[in-house]
Amino acid sequence: MTVEVVYGSAGEQDEIIDPARATLLLEGEPGSDRVARYCGEAELGRPGPFGYTVRVLPRHPMLAGPAEMGLVTMPVTPAGMVSGDLR
């Protein structure tokens, strides 16, 4: 998997304008509580409103790119389950 921070100036609707991305790196190994810490830098660039978000993307040699979700699987629908309703 890849962990990224997406950041940039924030618009009037709190959207990130002209977003930049930076890969975050795993800092040490996860502890006994299985919590992992990722670190990196985001350059503010100029004064004013700023927004950011963190995203986790799949990474596998069989994926065409980071946005492809082709290897994601869903559990088998239990018998009697129709359109999300158990009948």
Query: How many residues are present in the chain?
Result: 87
In a domain, 39, yes or no: yes
Domain enclosing residue 2, as ranges = 1-59
Query: pLDDT value at position 78?
Result: 66
What is the pTM for the complete model shown?
0.66
In a domain, 32, yes or no: yes
In a domain, 71, yes or no: no
Number of domains in the chain: 1
In a domain, 33, yes or no: yes
Beta bridge partners of 17: 9
In a domain, 29, yes or no: yes
Question: What separation in angstroms does the CA of 1 have from each of 18, 19, 39, 61?
Answer: 24, 21, 15, 11
Quick one: 8 exposed, middle or buried, by C-beta within 10 A (0-12, 13-18, 19+)? Answer: buried
d(CA 51, CA 44) in angstroms, rounded, equals 9
> Per residue in 64-76, pLDDT tens?
777 776 656 666 7
- Tokens at residue 16, please? 């990130």
